A and B are shown apart, each in its own frame.
Chain A
Amino acid sequence: MPGGLLGIEPLDRVEIEGILDRAQRFQPRQTDSKKSDQLRGRMIVNLFFEASTRTRTSFEIAAKRLGADAISITASASSVSKGESLVDTLNTLGAMHPDAIVMRHAASGAPHFLARYLPTPIINAGDGTHEHPTQALLDARTILDRRPTLEGLRVAIIGDIAHSRVARSNMYLLSKFGAQIVLCGPAFLLPPELAQLAPGISLTHKMEEAIRDADVIMMLRVQLERQHEAAFSANEYFQFYGLRLEHMSRAKPDAIVMHPGPINRGREISSEVADSQRSVILNQVENGIAVRMAVLERILGN
């Protein structure tokens, strides 16, 4: 992985386990001192072409806890608005010799395209509707904090699967470890081809089926900005695909509820569920930093 982290799909189990194990050591309860100087003198550029608060902040904190210097650039403040091409922007940044570039972009494959031209390691912090590898890693870390293994777990992923990079990265990761993945959403957000992306994936349009005996329920944000024909009103969407307390009796008794955030209460998840004991949403945020520390260490550490 010295070349960066573009996605989960190309990784093997050993690499993923390595990051997850290491991330555990970075969890707050495992360590007394919050900060180390492992990456002192290293420079990480967070380049966000798409609005993001939590992922950018999480990467910044991860870098700083390892002693690295991190600067964050958002597209609106950069020369992108002056018509500079993506390649030129990245070449310019590359010439300043950062040790890694953390990048989020609205176009699927944008980091893959740049990785072909740039020697700097690129960490994909979400590319369009393709992958969001650190999200899947932090989700796996969060599940493994509560379950001994991913193997055999039944994981329901519910919402706008078609446009979800979170769903794709999670599908690849969970599948590599032998989980059963049930994808659920409205027909126009659930292309049948999804079932062929990895072993162990099934599809349903019925929420009740997806949740039955689930160990993990992952809710996805409704991405209005990516839906060109909104076929469901907010009310209708919540009726059919919003997670409510009454659904929880169908899942395993100790099932957990996850969400990559930001959550839309009353849209895809009810407040009662989001705030319930089953919800591990804030643990996900916490693990986000630990996992990103592990990734940065892996890519930049000696």
Chain B
Amino acid sequence: MSKLTIRNGRVMDPASGLDAVRDVAIEDGRIAAIGQDLDAAGANELDATGLIVAPGFIDMHVHLREPGFEHAETIESGSRAAAAGGFTSICCMPNTSPVNDNATVTSYIIERAGRHAVVNVFPIGAITKGSAGEQLAAIGLMKEAGIIAISDDGRPVMNARVMRRAMETAQSFGLPVIDHCEDLHLSAGGDMNEGVPSVRLGLRGIPAASEDVMVARDILLAELTGARFHVAHISSRHSVEMVAFAKARGLAVTSEATPHHFALTDGEMPPYDSNFKMKPPLRSTCDVAAITAGLVSGAVDAIATDHAPHAGSEKMQEFEQCPFGILGLETAIGITLERLVHPGKITLMRMIELFTTGPDSVLHLHRGRLLIGAPADITIFDTGRSWTFDVNRSCSKSRNSPFDGHSFRGGPVATIVHGKLVWSLDHVALGVPAASQ
């Protein structure tokens, strides 16, 4: 019988509205009690005085690169980066090699995660075979094997008829469709947002319209099919407006934003620094303002990192040759505090919601709340400590982060998955209470 009591933390649970200093008692990996001065004889203790104790954070959009690209990340290393970033659950995109487009690959990921991951790993299946955009993947069989959504992230389905069939199928199996909304014809050849900075640098632009036209298409298809449609990494103001419009019409349309899309703009990119190259690209200050407003209003439901590791050799090339994507897991809480909570744009409770009940409302994982009897996935973080992100000490196998050397105020302190402390800051240690010593 393993027991752990988290003492004196400010326990915040968006689902129940609880916001008070409490103890959280964990027994056998499940939440046993939440209360004051809990008697917990024989339990390990974690002193959370001055810290926030929240339901385990969910990152619904990561790339773990396994199978196929283990030089950049593995399920194990990615899960360690997740734990170090305060996440207890991560959802991995199917663009591995082979693509997760059938139950065998899904089972492989789940089996590897079971053995090597320190956090919960939920695979997302491909929409089409090989994510080639033509024939539907084995969606039903993947669902039985454990996928929690479908997406052709990075290689979006261009054919509206195929997307319609995918939505119908996903709907019948109770899965949401997550789309990386990008019209590949409009964005072809582009390396960064189309705007003054791209024209200045002589780099080919990716217009915001390439996202907007696909968001519009997918909203219309969601209405046609009744499917749950989720916009991945929303980056443009018009897309935020359209999601708000769809929600107002009562459609099951949701969206996520990445920390970099509400923290950085194309104008802030150091010239030709590939650690600022991702899709969708960093956009303008107007877009950042619209995404921030969407996070406040609810048009944006979740914060997701789109953690996309690439080996150093891939990012050490001419800008236009470099692959798209940056790390995100370990800096998400720090950026969110810095950009949204500290300036007073959202409350701490709303921030937690965006990392817990927000993604859970899209994915129906039955995670992201502090329920007695539920798996004890808990994120402990603080809001005041100064720390500096050193990418060379990242748990990820890759180093492509635009936030290397950035100083944050507040960040993850300890991560508990199924009652087990899987990561904590160096000075945080489990103690045994004096009375039982």
Contacts and interface: CB of A to CB of B under 8 A. Distances in A.
Interface stretch (A20-28, A122-130, A134-142, A265-273): A122-130
B428 interface: no
A109 B201 CA distance: 7
A104 interface: no
A87 interface: yes
Contacts of A187: none
B320 A191 contact: no
Given A105-B318, A107-B321, A113-B272, A130 B195 contact: no
A193 B271 CA distance: 17
Contacts of B317: 85-87, 113
A82 interface: no
A185 to B, nearest CB: 13
Contacts of B242: none
A165 B199 contact: no
B313 A228 contact: no
**B189, B199, B203, B205 — most chain A CB neighbours (10 Å):** B199
Interface string B167-196: 000000000000000000000110000111
Given A109-B202, A113-B319, 7 more contacts: A109-B201, A112-B272, A131-B202, A165-B202, A168-B202, A193-B199, A228-B189
A194 interface: yes
Interface of B: 188-189, 194-196, 198-203, 205, 271-272, 313, 316-321
Contacts of B205: 191
B239 to A, nearest CB: 21
Interface in A79-133: 85-87, 105, 107-110, 112-113, 127-131
Contacts of A30: none
A194 B199 contact: yes
A113 B205 CA distance: 19
Given A128-B202, A165-B202, A108 B196 contact: no
A296 to B, nearest CB: 24
Nearest to A7: B271
Contacts of A196: 196
A86 B196 contact: no
Contacts of A168: 200, 202
**B195, B203, B272 — most chain A CB neighbours (10 Å):** B272
A245 interface: no
A197 interface: yes
A86 B318 contact: yes
B391 to A, nearest CB: 16
Contacts of B195: 193
A86 B272 CA distance: 14
A105 B203 CA distance: 13
**B199, B202, B317 — most chain A CB neighbours (10 Å):** B202
**B189, B200, B205, B316 — most chain A CB neighbours (10 Å):** B200
14 contacts: A85-B313, A87-B316, A107-B318, A108-B201, A108-B272, A108-B319, A109-B272, A109-B318, A112-B271, A112-B272, A113-B319, A129-B203, A130-B201, A165-B202
B416 to A, nearest CB: 41
- 4 tightest A-B CB contacts, nearest first: A109-B272, A130-B202, A107-B318, A129-B202
A197 B197 CA distance: 9
A246 B250 CA distance: 63
